[in-house]
């Protein structure tokens, strides 16, 4: 007897802070595997946000326009609850290296145990293995914000907004420093 093919909705959760070419590669590839793909822009309580959820959604949107079966939504709380709200069937996680795999296996087992949710792992394409949102933010914060450098790993719309936000932060820090120096003068 032939099995009827099920309409499968997958959820690719993450903070996407910032979205990278590695994320976009996983999104593109996952969109070819599932009937629908929901990009869940979540909150990681263990990290300080660089971009707001609204900004992250806005940075993702232009890259999803040519993928008709993909949409993005913000969420907070448990990923398995978000998956259920989306009527999803499976989680998608991108894996760069053994450290990612170790962490994601633990998370996948928790999601399976407490929520009955399966996780599908997609290996990151070779050119994106070293791409990390954390490293990108550190590069910028330490003065390495040259657009030509950073645009190798993030789309230009992301690099542009990062540069604007960091320049604003630098101006604010300089103004505070000048204010403190002025108070110390006799």
Least confident of 112-116, 130-134, 147-151: 130-134
Assess if residue 125 is contained within a domain. yes
Segment 156-180 shows an average pLDDT of 77
Give the model confidence (pLDDT) of 145-158 as tens digits. Answer: 566 777 878 899 99
Does the pLDDT of residue 140 top 90, yes or no?
Answer: no
Taking the C-alpha atoms of residue 21 and residue 165, their distance in angstroms, rounded to an integer, is: 20
- Predicted confidence at residue 2, as pLDDT, reads 56
Does the pLDDT of residue 1 top 60, yes or no?
Answer: no
Task: Report the percent of the chain where pLDDT is more than 90.
Answer: 55
Assess if residue 157 is contained within a domain. yes
Assess if residue 78 is contained within a domain. yes
CATH number where 177 lies: 3.40.50.620
Least confident of 19-33, 53-67, 159-173: 159-173
Domain that holds residue 114: 9-184
Assess if residue 16 is contained within a domain. yes
Task: Give how many domains the chain has, as a whole number.
Answer: 1
Half-sphere exposure (Cβ direction) of 181: Cα atoms closer than 13 Å? 6
Assess if residue 154 is contained within a domain. yes
- Predicted confidence at residue 97, as pLDDT, reads 85
DSSP state of 4: P
Taking the C-alpha atoms of residue 115 and residue 84, their distance in angstroms, rounded to an integer, is: 10
Residue bearing the bigger pLDDT, 129 or 90: 90
- Predicted confidence at residue 125, as pLDDT, reads 81
Residue 129 — pLDDT band, cuts 50, 70, 90? Answer: low
Assess if residue 178 is contained within a domain. yes
Q: 131: closest CA among 163, 94, 91, 102? A: 94
Segment 47-67 shows an average pLDDT of 94
- Predicted confidence at residue 145, as pLDDT, reads 57
What's the N-to-C CA distance of the chain in angstroms? 91
Assess if residue 1 is contained within a domain. no
Assess if residue 2 is contained within a domain. no
Taking the C-alpha atoms of residue 138 and residue 155, their distance in angstroms, rounded to an integer, is: 17
Does the pLDDT of residue 24 top 70, yes or no?
Answer: yes
Residue 185 — pLDDT band, cuts 50, 70, 90? Answer: low
The pTM (predicted TM-score) of the whole model is: 0.84
């Amino acid at each position: 007897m032939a099995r009827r093919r099920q309409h499968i909705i997958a959820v690719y959760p993450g903070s996407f802070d910032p979205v990278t070419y590695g994320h976009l590669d996983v999104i593109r590839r996952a969109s070819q595997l599932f009937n629908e793909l929901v990009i869940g822009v979540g909150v990681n309580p263990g990290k300080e946000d660089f971009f707001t959820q609204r900004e992250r959604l806005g940075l993702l949107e232009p890259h999803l326009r040519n993928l008709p079966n993909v949409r993005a939504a913000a969420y907070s709380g448990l990923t398995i609850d978000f998956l259920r709200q989306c009527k999803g069937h499976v989680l998608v996680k991108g894996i760069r290296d053994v450290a990612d795999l170790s962490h994601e296996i633990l998370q996948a087992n928790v999601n399976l145990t407490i929520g009955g949710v399966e996780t599908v792992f997609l290996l990151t394409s070779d050119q994106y293995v070293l791409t990390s949102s954390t490293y990108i933010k550190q590069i910028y914060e330490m003065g390495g914000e040259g657009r030509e450098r950073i645009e190798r790993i993030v789309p230009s719309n992301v690099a542009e907004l990062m540069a604007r936000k960091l320049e604003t932060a630098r101006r604010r820090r300089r103004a505070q420093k000048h204010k403190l120096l002025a108070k110390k003068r006799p």
